[in-house]
Amino acid sequence: MARTEMRTPIESGCPDGFQYMHPVMLKNFGQWKYHEHPKPGVLRHVAESGDEIWTVKAGTQRILDVFTLRKLCEIGDRYADGHVRFTIRSNIEYMVAEESKVEPLINALSEAGFIVGGTANSVAMISHTQGWLHCDIPGTDASGVVKSMMDELVDEFKNCNMPNRVHITTSCCQINCGGQGDIAINVQHTKPPKINHDLVANVCERPSVVARCPVAAIRPAQVNGKPTLEVDEKKCICCGACYPPCPPMQINDPEHTKLAIWVGGNHSNARSKPSFQKLVAAGIPNNPPRWPEATAIVKNILRTYKEDAKDWERINDWVERIGWPRFFELTGLPFTKYHIDNWRGSRKSLNASSYIRL
Amino acid sequence: MARTEMRTPIESGCPDGFQYMHPVMLKNFGQWKYHEHPKPGVLRHVAESGDEIWTVKAGTQRILDVFTLRKLCEIGDRYADGHVRFTIRSNIEYMVAEESKVEPLINALSEAGFIVGGTANSVAMISHTQGWLHCDIPGTDASGVVKSMMDELVDEFKNCNMPNRVHITTSCCQINCGGQGDIAINVQHTKPPKINHDLVANVCERPSVVARCPVAAIRPAQVNGKPTLEVDEKKCICCGACYPPCPPMQINDPEHTKLAIWVGGNHSNARSKPSFQKLVAAGIPNNPPRWPEATAIVKNILRTYKEDAKDWERINDWVERIGWPRFFELTGLPFTKYHIDNWRGSRKSLNASSYIRL
Amino acid sequence: MAKPNHETPMLDELENGPWPSFISGIKRLRDRHADERINGMANDLLGQLEHSYETRKGYWKGGTVSVYGYGGGIIPRFSEVGKQFPESKEFHTLRVQPPAGNFYTTDMLRQLADSWEKWGSGLVTFHGQTGNIMFIGATTENTQHFFDEINEYGFDLGGAGPCVRTAMSCVGAARCEQSCANEHKIHRTLVNNFTDDVHRPALPYKFKFKVSGCPNDCVNSIERADFAVIGTWRDDIKIDQAEVKAFVDRKGRQYIIDNVLTRCPTNCMSLADDDTLEIDDRNCVKCMHCLNVMPKALSPGDDKGVTVLLGGKRTLKIGDLMGTVIVPFMKLETEEDYERLTELAEETIDFWAENGLEHERCGEMIERIGLVNFLEGIGVDVDPNMVSHPRESSYVRIDGWDEEAEKWFQRKAEVKAAASA
Amino acid sequence: MAKPNHETPMLDELENGPWPSFISGIKRLRDRHADERINGMANDLLGQLEHSYETRKGYWKGGTVSVYGYGGGIIPRFSEVGKQFPESKEFHTLRVQPPAGNFYTTDMLRQLADSWEKWGSGLVTFHGQTGNIMFIGATTENTQHFFDEINEYGFDLGGAGPCVRTAMSCVGAARCEQSCANEHKIHRTLVNNFTDDVHRPALPYKFKFKVSGCPNDCVNSIERADFAVIGTWRDDIKIDQAEVKAFVDRKGRQYIIDNVLTRCPTNCMSLADDDTLEIDDRNCVKCMHCLNVMPKALSPGDDKGVTVLLGGKRTLKIGDLMGTVIVPFMKLETEEDYERLTELAEETIDFWAENGLEHERCGEMIERIGLVNFLEGIGVDVDPNMVSHPRESSYVRIDGWDEEAEKWFQRKAEVKAAASA
Ligand code: SRM
Ligand code: SRM
Ligand code: SRM
Ligand code: SRM
Ligand code: SF4
Ligand code: SF4
Ligand code: SF4
Ligand code: SF4
Ligand code: SF4
Ligand code: SF4
Ligand code: SF4
Ligand code: SF4
């Protein structure tokens, strides 16, 4: 179509949320006194005014088809007050003003196949990313990994038996859109990119690709007359950062693209400052459709944490208290030379004390 | 003398200390049950056997003249059991088996001008270095600084009024032989070295001098025909590391060689892992014979610590609890851009949390 | 008449198990939706995805697609195996900004569903990790139509590419007793001040705002936002001693000692022998732990405000970075307060736009040039709250000490004057 | 007849005040000593020192002086202003190794004083920061005579230059209830195994041993020693509950909660409601705090041993380094145990001698080549106790994962087998 016919956008930006807010929340905005947790999936917030808002939280597949979305709306009208929100972990929350509405709502959701839970000290919905369904650089799928794991963790989502909240994340490449988590299941490449030299010249802006490499392992080169790029395989840390700007630098490999598991990422400030996750297991096969090996390790870690941690200890607090050696002992996971950090600033991760649990 | 006449050394190395040990200590070696601290300068150690050893500790000038040394020996024979040791802070310790000997010993030491104290939660003897008296690279004197400060801190040495032990160190150049301390008074140069180009060629092994610079600010050069070294003054951090291997790179300056004060170095593992000291004050004049400015700051810090810290908090524990902003507030010391670390690994020193004391 | 369904033996495995299945959802679109366009798209999408599962590789590539007037907001996807799966060969995602706080009425959700069925695949996510509604799967042509339609009733695209990205805020004051700020106002004030930078990518790289109402940081702002705003308070924690006693009676002394007192990062709490709880608020760092454990007994103070941290991001290319405190505390009551916050964001983005390298995040730039130079660049004074501790290294040239010290004393004097004025 | 005394107006200031004055001491040597050589030396030393105080500069320069058969052990000092102060123009320091633990009889001290008066300045320090007796101020010629004399009755030089240095150990088991090792035996076993490396500097740089009997680390070994040995224990802390109750009665519950429980770095202590103290020893890191506060009630366990850390040092040239745990725990009972410790020291020094750059300390080398490569070099297996936490960065190539994991499982199996055998 010719530009002229085109409609100029209204640059309205981020819409006002207040217009969609439940009236009781609007009325008591900023005036909440405390909350209780009557049962998994249910929150009772009490306002200074005495008003109450009851929240029922349910997990869904993150990739919603419109049928599912309409179903959720239907339930929201029949059993709730027509006001909902989605959490940052893509769970749906129904807010109602009367306790009486809670049970019918829960039943309706359960009958429709949604999972009520995910509150407080449960295993929260796994935050996931795009993967094979949509991304251009994924080493694995995200929706599939999450679905497979949630199938196995559903009881931990429906119940609150963990010492504290458990926030699990996944990422389908080392770029790590999923961010950090109490437990993170992330792609970890193990071999340098295979370069399709015929394509580099046309597809890649070579100087900027060279600039992307964290360890300066890429240099311009000539292969049968064509300008291309080559990788110093001694230096290469197989991170895949060169792949998005230069797809011919194929980092993904059905065999050598593995999964790694990290624990102890905690972003709340509660008890201790926000902490980064630490590597615990790697070399895990990237095994669709259900990734059983990765799930088994996650469940092992969760079981150990559940048995050994104290109330209110997040995974990082727990390991901080019992020490990493015992973490590896209790989980039976191997400790290798790869667990010793060698990235910048890593000296601070060495044990410069006599602190040893014996 | 001709080599032939020379005596071949007996390479006996470190002598056996047991031969000089007090018999009661020898008998109860490794069998001590607990200790008490009856009064400043006095320790009572009780063995499983019920035996006791009483220690009386006294401070001296670290640079002993033989008269003083003989005096100490005399007292050791008259009032003690002839067995002594020197602590790693150069205090003398007399060990006696009977409580009855303690008071007379204390009196004899005091009369002879030695200072009994330095135990437990006192301000310990300042550990010092060589300075102008003997070293080849000092920016200040050590014995003089320590004498001046101990004159002012003598009551804190004689009494145990501090929340916990206070270990003060000094160093007469940035090489820092004095090591770290709860409080450290160290030389800090503020200008790049002045180079005597005529001498460099003869005196310095230029490649190794170049190699010594932590920031690679030194490069070979020619000055009026002579090979010499030059310094990139933009890069130079004025550390003085080039001076020992190359004395013509004069780092010491009557005006620009200053003192800096650091706090929070703690090497015991008690309560927290060993910690490095942090910069708190700099630009302090190097002002012989009594360095009043530096002493005033040290006393200010000690007073604040004494008033505000809890029992058993070392200076680092205390500041850790009250936070650095309050440390600067309470001491009235200025916080400047120089307090923000920029050396390798320093990112870990930034506040990556919402932890703020308001 | 629709062509036969692709075999999806591997994907079918993902229909088993109790958790809702996205595969079943896509199949519903394939089998039960009225619109053949959608049936076909879903079928070929499943086909390509099955192919990925079998070969363990992805088959999408990027490109450039945008709506008229904008440069970003869409993640273009063209299939590398479009021949086998023609009906989903163009499968772009529109990133649409949700209402601040993610509040919806069911009516509005239905309206969005209607529009999306008309123009898109029927697959949607509330929300992506950055916070956008992701309408997944539209042809190049239909992205424009869909956008035009929803833009008419108040929705706009979010960011993609080197630009200001969609922001995120927690549920906060709408429902949470811990909230110390109006998260949604902060959220919209900030991001809507930069709509041009959202829609027309021209920055060194992406820039994200995130707002949490308290230090629990339910939106991971410190870890994931270039510009993190976190609610906090300045006065004392409110203690309801009766509720404390009730808690002690219920749980026992040892429980409160082991679970509250000893978990306080600054050990600033103490339980008197008569079971009254004492807090040395001077040393409370507002970590939230005790308030989280005893929400009935303890509440944030009344003198509320926010802390701002800059520079959080993920791994590329120097390693993960958390944000650094730039504004220890500021009030957000008057419009002037909000303007000050917006100005800080503008200063930051302008300085970064000028000094950041290509594909360099704000935090990476700070790391490269040093925090002090960055602060000077945006005109913010150094503050001890910006560091966990002062320097440990003596390797620094400090011949400007006296002038710098003078600056500090002057600032202190000004504050004093202002206070007494 | 002696020449007039130098004016020392500034130094005279240092004779005021209560603390014993080193200036008064030097003046005693100048004015009251029988030997004119010493009077003159002291006088010129004061003269040069006064000159330093007035000009704020040092006037000593180094050189090379050693005794027959040795390459080090002496810090040579020649005056740059020797013309003005001729009698102290050669003023070398002899570094002499003290008995382990710094024990002396007054008789031995007198004997040393006699020899030093005969040959030296009469100025001596017990001890320098590394631990040597420093006999400060001898002419080149007299260093030999003095050494010959004291060497006859059992004293030997310490280290100076790029060599193994004099070691240091705390008073330890001789008097301290916290001691978990025979500090003095460890001290002598280690350093006396390297006398050749002490006396003949031929290493990349200096190498220091330090031994503390417990984690209080009274000799600062973690911070200051290339090779730190620290006593510790493996079994439970011994609790005398009666003494605990006595402590609680004396100080009150709140005091023990605030000063002991909440200060425990792992929060592994708990005070039951009946005032019995519970310690989860599994999680005790042997920090010593509670034992320090309650030495009567708490004592180290019986299954004692040591932890070894490598690489501590000061600032040059990459910044201060603390040691890193290399051996989490080893018993030191049999001679074989001691041999294992000595072998570790030999392996370390050999590898460093081969791979260290000129003037590069062991810790700097470890930092440069990476801990893992160092461990492989000295044949020590990786252990999680060597780190505070595993890696945070995903930037690593791990295609050897399976083999490395195998190693771990094998080691575990061996340990198990050994245990059951
Ligand atoms: C709904 C949600 C905010 C939103 O706007 O969407 C939310 C809501 C609440 N959070 Fe959160 N948090 C939410 C994500 C987070 C996150 C981010 C995340 O999940 O990735 C964090 C930080 C993550 C991290 O550190 O890894 C987070 C860290 C907390 C904490 C701190 C926990 C801790 O001890 O470390 C609390 C305090 C607590 O647990 O009492 C908290 C407490 C709460 C409370 C109880 C606050 C209140 O009084 O209402 C809310 C009820 C949560 C529940 O369902 O039990 N919320 N909370 C998010 C729900 C996600 C989900 O569906 O599972
Ligand atoms: C869709 C989403 C994952 C999801 O399914 O939720 C996503 C998907 C992509 N991210 Fe992301 N990121 C998404 C949230 C994040 C987050 C989380 C956040 O924003 O809180 C992060 C970590 C925080 C941060 O910003 O660092 C994140 C860090 C990245 C990075 C690494 C940035 C860095 O500096 O380390 C890249 C790579 C890049 O931008 O070059 C990236 C790049 C991408 C690209 C555009 C891949 C590419 O370069 O082509 C992915 C497009 C996938 C697709 O086809 O839709 N994505 N990405 C999230 C955006 C949805 C939304 O808009 O709501
Ligand atoms: C004598 C000496 C060891 C020696 O072989 O010379 C020694 C001896 C004792 N130390 Fe020490 N420490 C000695 C230097 C040190 C040092 C090193 C230093 O001073 O530079 C440290 C670590 C320094 C640091 O961390 O900066 C040190 C950290 C401790 C600690 C841990 C304190 C803390 O809480 O951090 C204790 C435990 C305590 O205080 O109860 C301790 C406790 C003790 C006890 C009470 C151990 C005992 O039960 O006998 C001894 C009596 C000390 C006293 O006089 O009160 N000693 N102690 C050293 C005396 C130096 C002096 O004359 O002042
Ligand atoms: C004498 C003494 C200070 C004192 O008065 O106590 C001292 C004095 C000197 N030290 Fe030191 N250091 C002394 C203990 C230390 C310590 C403390 C320790 O050993 O526990 C350290 C810190 C720990 C360490 O080893 O790192 C120390 C770190 C240094 C350094 C920096 C080493 C580094 O790698 O950072 C140098 C510079 C060098 O060696 O190139 C140095 C160099 C020197 C020199 C040789 C200066 C030079 O290069 O010419 C000084 C000779 C002064 C003199 O004329 O006697 N001295 N030096 C200490 C030795 C006495 C003794 O043998 O007992
Ligand atoms: S993590 Fe990687 S693969 Fe997955 S969505 Fe993000 S960029 Fe794409
Ligand atoms: S994979 Fe990473 S390290 Fe290897 S060449 Fe590409 S960008 Fe560089
Ligand atoms: S600190 Fe510097 S000046 Fe002082 S003795 Fe050590 S090396 Fe010499
Ligand atoms: S003073 Fe330090 S930084 Fe400057 S040139 Fe010398 S060694 Fe280099
Ligand atoms: S961040 Fe704080 S205010 Fe916001 S929802 Fe979480 S707990 Fe409530
Ligand atoms: S909020 Fe955190 S820091 Fe403040 S008192 Fe409670 S636990 Fe302690
Ligand atoms: S280090 Fe331990 S054993 Fe040695 S003296 Fe100090 S407290 Fe005693
Ligand atoms: S020694 Fe330290 S870690 Fe162990 S129980 Fe006592 S205080 Fe806790």
Three-state SS string across B223-257, please? ECCEEEEEECCCCCCCCCCCCCCCCCEECCCCCCE
DSSP 8-state code for residue A12: -
The distance from CA C418 to its chain's CA centroid, rounded to whole angstroms, is 36
| Helix (H) or strand (E) segment spanning residue D212 | strand D209-212
Q: Verify whether ligand 11 is closer than 6 Å to residue D300 (CB atom).
A: no
Q: What is the pLDDT of residue B243?
A: 97
Range of lowest pLDDT (A332-336, C269-273, D90-94, D407-411): C269-273
Q: Tokens in use for A128?
A: 């996931």
How far apart, in whole angstroms, are the C-alpha atoms of residue A144 and residue A271?
Answer: 34
Q: Tokens in use for A49?
A: 């005014």
How far apart, in whole angstroms, are the C-alpha atoms of residue D146 and residue D112?
Answer: 10
Contact A320, D290 (CB under 8 A): no
Q: Would you say the C-alpha torsion A44, A50, A53, A54 has a positive or negative sign?
A: positive
- In three-state secondary structure terms, A79 is coil
Q: Is D276 on the interface with C (CB under 8 A)?
A: no
Q: Is C320 on the interface with A (CB under 8 A)?
A: yes
Facing residues of B250 across strands? B194
How far apart, in whole angstroms, are the C-alpha atoms of residue B313 and residue C283?
Answer: 15
Contact A260, A282 (CB under 8 A): yes
- Find all residues with CB under 8 Å of D250, minimum gap 6, and list them: none
Partner-chain residue, chosen from A273, A345, A352, that has the shortest CB–CB distance to B273:
A352
How far apart, in whole angstroms, are the C-alpha atoms of residue C56 and residue B83?
Answer: 78
Q: What is the pLDDT of residue B4?
A: 59
Rounded to the nearest 10 degrees, the angle between the axes of helix C371-378 and helix C335-355 is 120
Rounded to the nearest integer, the mean pLDDT of chain A is 97
- In three-state secondary structure terms, A100 is helix
Q: Could you tell me the distance, in angstroms and rounded to a whole number, from the CA of residue A177 to the centre of ligand 2?
A: 5
Query: Tell me: the pLDDT tens digits for B195-238?
Result: 999 999 999 999 999 999 999 999 999 998 999 999 999 999 99
How far apart, in whole angstroms, are the C-alpha atoms of residue B240 and residue A76?
Answer: 73
pLDDT(C1) > 80: no
Q: What is the pLDDT of residue A1?
A: 45
Q: What is the pLDDT of residue D116?
A: 98
- Find all residues with CB under 8 Å of A69, minimum gap 6, and list them: C109, C113, C124
In whole angstroms, how large is the CA radius of gyration of chain D?
Answer: 26
Q: Tokens in use for A301?
A: 């870690």
Query: Tell me: the pLDDT tens digits for B7-59?
Result: 999 999 999 999 999 999 999 999 999 999 999 999 999 999 999 999 999 99
For residue D3, what pLDDT band results from cuts at 50, 70 and 90? confident
Q: What is the pLDDT of residue C3?
A: 80
pLDDT(A5) > 90: no
Query: Tell me: the pLDDT tens digits for A84-102?
Result: 999 999 999 999 999 999 9
pLDDT(D88) > 50: yes
Q: What is the pLDDT of residue B47?
A: 98
DSSP 8-state code for residue D14: T
Query: Which of these, B140, B230, B217, lies nearest to B186 by C-alpha position?
Result: B140
How far apart, in whole angstroms, are the C-alpha atoms of residue D229 and residue B94?
Answer: 27
Neighbours of B46 (CB within 10 A): 18
Is-above-0.90 flag for pTM?
yes
Q: Which residues of A touch B269 (CB under 8 A)?
A: 353-355
Which residue does chain D place closest to C317, by CA atoms?
Answer: D395
Place of tokens 């014993």: D20
B308 by Cβ neighbours in 10 Å (0-12 / 13-18 / 19+) ranks as middle
In order of A290, B24, B279, C293, D16, the CA distances from B188 in angstroms are 62, 47, 11, 48, 27
| Contacts C–D by Cβ distance under 8 A | 48
Q: What is the pLDDT of residue B147?
A: 98
Q: Could you tell me the distance, in angstroms and rounded to a whole number, from the CA of residue A222 to the centre of ligand 6?
A: 18
Q: What is the pLDDT of residue B200?
A: 96
Which residue does chain A place closest to D375, by CA atoms?
Answer: A337
Partner-chain residue, chosen from C179, C224, C289, that has the shortest CB–CB distance to A271:
C289
CB pair distance less than 8 Å for C325 and B328: no
Neighbours of C255 (CB within 10 A): 14
**Residue range A40-68: average pLDDT?**
98
Residues with CB under 6 A from ligand 10: C 264-266, 268-269, 279, 284-291
Contact A36, A28 (CB under 8 A): no
Query: Tell me: the pLDDT tens digits for C315-369?
Result: 999 999 999 999 999 999 999 999 999 999 999 999 999 999 999 999 999 999 9
How far apart, in whole angstroms, are the C-alpha atoms of residue B154 and residue B163?
Answer: 17
Query: Which of these, D266, C290, B1, lies nearest to A322 by C-alpha position?
Result: D266
- In ligand 7, the atom with minimum distance to the C-alpha of B172 is 4
For residue A3, what pLDDT band results from cuts at 50, 70 and 90? low
Contact C187, A2 (CB under 8 A): no
Query: Which of these, B100, B112, C256, A264, lies nearest to B92 by C-alpha position?
Result: B112
Query: Tell me: the pLDDT tens digits for C180-189?
Result: 999 999 999 9
CB pair distance less than 8 Å for A267 and C126: no
In order of B133, C14, C227, D57, the CA distances from B290 in angstroms are 15, 81, 50, 15
Contact A119, A38 (CB under 8 A): no
In order of A115, C10, C43, D220, the CA distances from C89 in angstroms are 33, 21, 12, 68
Query: Tell me: the pLDDT tens digits for D225-244?
Result: 999 999 999 999 999 999 99
Q: Is D322 on the interface with A (CB under 8 A)?
A: yes
Its ipTM equals 0.96
In whole angstroms, how large is the CA radius of gyration of chain A?
Answer: 24
Distance from CA of D262 to the nearest CA of C (A): 5
- Find all residues with CB under 8 Å of D420, minimum gap 6, and list them: none
Q: Verify whether ligand 1 is closer than 6 Å to residue C170 (CB atom).
A: yes
Query: Which of these, D84, D85, D63, D82, lies nearest to D74 by C-alpha position?
Result: D63
Q: Tokens in use for B18?
A: 């047991």
| Helix (H) or strand (E) segment spanning residue B322 | helix B315-322
Contact B249, B229 (CB under 8 A): yes
In order of B117, B315, C420, the CA distances from B161 in angstroms are 12, 14, 37
Residues with CB under 6 A from ligand 8: B 192-193, 212-215, 217-218, 231, 236-242, 251
CB pair distance less than 8 Å for A273 and B344: no
The distance from CA C397 to its chain's CA centroid, rounded to whole angstroms, is 39
For residue C2, what pLDDT band results from cuts at 50, 70 and 90? low
Query: Which of these, B268, B47, B95, A353, lies nearest to D176 by C-alpha position?
Result: B47
pLDDT(D332) > 90: yes
Mutate which of D129, D187, D216 to test ligand 3's pocket (most atoms within 8 Å of Cβ)?
D216
Return the residue whose CA atom lies nearest to atom 5 of ligand 12: D284
| Helix (H) or strand (E) segment spanning residue C271 | strand C269-271
Query: Which of these, B153, D220, C8, lies nearest to A352 by C-alpha position?
Result: D220
Place of tokens 């059992």: D154
Neighbours of D310 (CB within 10 A): 24
- In three-state secondary structure terms, A357 is coil
Q: What is the pLDDT of residue C421?
A: 77
> For chain A, what's the residue count?
358
**Residue range D211-237: average pLDDT?**
98
Query: Tell me: the pLDDT tens digits for C91-138?
Result: 999 999 999 999 999 999 999 999 999 999 999 999 999 999 999 999
Q: Tokens in use for C411?
A: 């600032």
Q: What is the pLDDT of residue C296?
A: 97
Q: What is the pLDDT of residue D273?
A: 84
Q: Could you tell me the distance, in angstroms and rounded to a whole number, from the CA of residue C400 to the centre of ligand 8?
A: 18
Query: Which of these, C233, C228, C240, lies nearest to C286 by C-alpha position?
Result: C233
Contact D352, D365 (CB under 8 A): yes
Q: What is the pLDDT of residue D112?
A: 98
Neighbours of D419 (CB within 10 A): 7
How far apart, in whole angstroms, are the C-alpha atoms of residue B317 and residue B122?
Answer: 16
Q: Which residues of B touch A344 (CB under 8 A)?
A: 344-345
Q: Verify whether ligand 4 is closer than 6 Å to residue D210 (CB atom).
A: no
Percentage of residues in chain C having pLDDT higher than 70: 100
**Residue range A119-129: average pLDDT?**
97
CB pair distance less than 8 Å for D391 and A338: yes
In order of A115, C70, D233, the CA distances from A59 in angstroms are 5, 34, 50
Using the CB atoms, write b or e for D89-104: b if 16+ within 10 Å: bbbbbbbbbbbbbbbb
Q: What is the pLDDT of residue D371?
A: 98
**Residue C131, CB-side half-sphere exposure with 13 Å CA sphere:** 31
Contact C105, A20 (CB under 8 A): yes
Query: Tell me: the pLDDT tens digits for D179-198?
Result: 999 999 999 999 999 999 99
How far apart, in whole angstroms, are the C-alpha atoms of residue B168 and residue C39?
Answer: 79
Q: What is the pLDDT of residue C202?
A: 96
Query: Tell me: the pLDDT tens digits for B140-154?
Result: 999 999 999 999 999
Query: Which of these, C295, C296, C308, C256, lies nearest to C278 by C-alpha position?
Result: C256
In order of A83, C165, C173, C183, C225, the CA distances from A18 in angstroms are 11, 21, 11, 11, 24
Place of tokens 């524990």: B317
For residue A4, what pLDDT band results from cuts at 50, 70 and 90? low
Ligand at minimal distance from the CA of D74 is 4
**Residue range C34-46: average pLDDT?**
98
* Phi, psi at D278, each rounded to 5°: -110, 130
In order of A8, A48, B171, B258, B293, the CA distances from B190 in angstroms are 61, 59, 16, 7, 17
Cis check: omega of the bond before D187, within 30 degrees of 0: no
Query: Which of these, C51, B69, C242, A111, lies nearest to D122 by C-alpha position?
Result: B69
